[in-house]
């Protein structure tokens, strides 16, 4: 089975304009993302709607493809890029990694790849929740999984609810899972899910993966030990710089 990684990256961001070009460790953040994924995959492409990002990627030797400015999500951008790339290279599965994930580990890419040994349609990663603060943080989506490690539901709320148990110790009594926002999709499934209208569950939780579940698609999950560090604001970048510096000591 052949895999391609597509990294959706746009320049305009209300909270952090030019984010993919932010310098981290003397390199643009998007370059770190590409380099880390390239340790696990031969085909890595940045999908962007901005010439500045496109040129920067080409300048450091990466692959880039221009896409529409009209896309509402990274998934939509990946779908367009996949249609373009299908004219040039052969692949069965698209791995979607956000352009603000400079610390992605090659092992995480391998985990996503391992999910496609059977009839998997979509795959993503989860990490065990270890603190009460994380469990009750609405910005940290949680995943309920079945016995076969398929996602049953995603929520910003801590689910399941442990009746008659002290909430501060819920995470010690049950395996709660945090969602790590990387996806892999079979090529045909990627095109299908981007044609779906928003569903009630997605609108309620503001989580696009609920649209896929609501329409009957299955999402396989694999467990990772690595915590994803996404960068959404300039303050996040400062924390990422501190993390990078601490790993060099």
Confidence of residue 215 (pLDDT cuts 50, 70, 90): very high
Q: Can you tell me the mean pLDDT for 219-235?
A: 83
- Predicted local distance difference test score (pLDDT) of residue 14: 64
Mean pLDDT of the chain: 92
Neighbours of 144 (CB within 10 A): 13
Q: Assess whether pLDDT exceeds 60 at residue 138.
A: yes
Domain-wise residue ranges, the chain: 3-124+177-247
Considering the chain, what percentage of its residues have pLDDT values greater than 90? 78
Q: What contacts 215, CB < 8 A, 6 or more positions away?
A: 193, 196, 199
Q: Assess whether pLDDT exceeds 60 at residue 249.
A: no
Confidence of residue 248 (pLDDT cuts 50, 70, 90): low
What's the CATH fold of domain 3-124+177-247?
A: Spore Coat Polysaccharide Biosynthesis Protein SpsA; Chain A (3.90.550)
Q: Assess whether pLDDT exceeds 80 at residue 90.
A: yes
- Write the pLDDT tens digit of every residue in 118-135: 899 999 999 999 999 999
111: three-class secondary structure by DSSP: helix
State the Cα angle at 180 between 170 and 199, rounded to 5°. Answer: 90
- Select the more confidently predicted residue: 13 or 28: 28
Q: Assess whether pLDDT exceeds 70 at residue 76.
A: yes
Q: C-alpha dihedral over 188, 192, 194, 198, to 10 degrees?
A: -150
């Amino acid at each position: 089975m052949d895999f391609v990684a597509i990294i959706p990256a746009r320049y305009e961001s209300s909270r952090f304009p030019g984010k993919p070009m932010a310098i981290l460790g003397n390199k643009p953040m998007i370059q770190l993302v590409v380099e880390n994924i390239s340790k696990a995959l031969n085909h890595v492409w940045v999908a962007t709607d901005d010439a500045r990002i496109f040129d920067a990627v080409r300048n450091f030797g990466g692959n880039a493809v221009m896409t529409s400015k009209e896309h509402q999500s990274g998934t939509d951008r990946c779908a367009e890029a996949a249609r373009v790339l299908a004219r040039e290279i052969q692949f069965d599965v698209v791995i979607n990694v956000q352009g603000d994930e400079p610390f992605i580990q090659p092992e995480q890419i391998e985990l996503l790849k391992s999910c496609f040994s059977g009839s998997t349609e979509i795959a993503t990663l989860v990490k065990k929740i270890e603190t009460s603060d994380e469990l009750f943080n609405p910005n940290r989506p949680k995943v309920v999984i079945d016995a076969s490690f398929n996602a049953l539901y995603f929520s910003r709320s801590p689910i399941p609810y442990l009746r008659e148990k002290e909430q501060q110790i819920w995470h010690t009594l049950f395996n709660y899972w945090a969602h790590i926002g990387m996806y892999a999709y079979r090529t045909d499934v990627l095109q299908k899910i981007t044609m779906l209208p928003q569903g009630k569950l997605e609108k309620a939780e503001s989580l696009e993966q609920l649209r896929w579940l609501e329409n009957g698609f299955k999402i396989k999950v694999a467990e990772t030990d690595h915590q994803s560090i996404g960068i959404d604001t300039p303050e996040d970048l400062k924390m990422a710089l501190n993390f990078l510096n601490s790993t060099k000591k």
